[in-house]
Amino acid sequence: MTQGANPDTSETVASTTPAELKARIDRGEDVFILDARSEGDFEEWRIDGESVDVVNYPYFQLLDGIPEDLHEELPDDQRITVLCAKGGSSEMVAEHLEDEGYEVDHLERGMKGWARIYEYQELDAANDVTVAQYQRPSSGCLAYLVVSDGEAAVVDPLRAFADEYVQDAKALGADLTYALDTHVHADHISGIRDLAAGTDTTAVLPEAAAGRGVEYDVDFETVEDGETLSLGDTEIEVVHTPGHTTGMTAYKVGNVLFTGDGLFTESVARPDLEDPEAAKDAARTLYESLTERVLSLPDDTVVAPAHFSDAATPAADDTYTAELGDLEARMDALSMDESEFVEFIVADMPPRPANYEDIIATNLGQQSPDDETAFELELGPNNCAASEDALTN
C-alpha cells in the first residue's frame, strides 16, 4: 500500500509500472490480471503469457463494488493487478477490491503505458556488425539497429521511439546514417521522417513504396531492387519482395535478411491491406517473392521480420528471428504450390489493424497527426500477418 503525498489524505491503492509487470511475466511469475476494459477492447488486444491468468470485467459494471460472480473468479491468495485503458478506472476498481480484502495493485497508465514498453536485444548473428532488435510487446512490432564502423542504420523505426535509436547508436559509437522503411506500414506510424528532420539521418523508402503517393515534408531517397547502401564496413542490399504491398522490400546485411512484413518466423504476410479487391493477385505475387527471392537464399540466412505474434517462439538469443532453412522445414505455407498457397492465404484473413487507413495516410504524408494522436492511432495488435492457424508443423 502506498501513501499519498499529503500525510493528511487517505491511503491510495498500490500501483505497478508496465516495466514491473513485464518483468514479472518474463520471470514466469504467476500473474493474475483483472482487465476492466470493455469486452470488445479486451478481445482485440490484451496482455497474455504462459503464467498469466486474465479475467475481463468492464469497469462500468464495478462502479458500486465487486459483484458476487466476479468474486468467484478472483484468487484469495494471489496479488491481483487491475488494468484499464489509461489507468484511471483501474485505480477505482482496485480500491473496491482492496476494501474487500484482496491483495491488489493497478497498472499505471493502463494499456497506453503498456504500449510504451520497448526492449533492446542484440542478435547472435554471424556478422562483423552489431545488429539489435527492438521489441514492442504490446503490438508485436519489431525494428532493427545495424552498426558498422561508426555508422548506423535503423530499419522500420517507430515514430514514438525515434530518440531511442539515436541514443543507442551513440552508445555504440556510431552516428545514425540511414532510417529505412521496408514498405508503407499499416499498423504503426513510421519514424523515418522524424529522424531525418531531427538529425543528419537520410530517410530511405523503396521506390515502389514511394510510388503510392508519398508527400513528405522532408527530403528522402528511394532505392530499387539490386541496389546497395554503404554503411561503415558493410553494405545494405536491397531485395524487392512485393506481395504484402507493391513496395514491400527486404534489406540484407551479411547473413541477416530484414524481411519487413513479407515473412515472419511463424507466418507469412497478408496480401489485402493495400488493395482488398486485389488480394488474390497480391498473394500470387507474394508466392513468387518468397519462392524466387527469399527461399533461394542460403539456409543459414537469418530471417529478421518486422513483427511477432503470440505464436512466435524466441530464438536462443531472445530475438524473434529464425534461420531460413528452419522456417522452410516447419512452415507449411512455404512448401505449398502456388494455387494452394493463394487459396490458403486469402481464406482466413484476420481483422485489419485498427485505424489502418489513417496510419497508411500518415505514413504517406497525407495526414499530419501530432505525437499523442499518432501514438493513439497505433494502439492495439498489428494484424499484418496471415492467420497463424496450421501454418507451421
CB neighbourhood size of 275 (10 A): 12
Measured at the CA of 68, the angle between CA 62 and CA 70, to 5 degrees, comes to: 60
Residue type, 112: K
Give the separation between CA 215 and CA 24, rounded to whole angstroms.
44
Give the separation between CA 266 and CA 304, rounded to whole angstroms.
12
Give the separation between CA 130 and CA 254, rounded to whole angstroms.
11
Phi-psi region at 164: left, alpha or beta (left = phi > 0; alpha = psi -120 to 50): alpha
Helix or strand or coil: residue 153?
strand
Give the separation between CA 374 and CA 155, rounded to whole angstroms.
19
Q: Is 84 a catalytic residue?
A: yes
Under 8 Å CB-to-CB from 295, ≥6 apart: which residues?
324, 328, 334
- φ, ψ of residue 128 to 5 degrees: the values are -90, 25
Give the separation between CA 312 and CA 391, rounded to whole angstroms.
12
Please tell me which residue in 21, 31, 36, 84 is annotated as part of the active site.
Answer: 84
Under 8 Å CB-to-CB from 59, ≥6 apart: which residues?
36, 37, 84, 89, 90, 92, 93
Under 8 Å CB-to-CB from 72, ≥6 apart: which residues?
none
Strands 130-136 and 119-122: what pairing?
antiparallel
Give the separation between CA 42 and CA 303, rounded to whole angstroms.
31
Give the separation between CA 4 and CA 285, rounded to whole angstroms.
60
Give catalytic residues, as residue numbers.
84
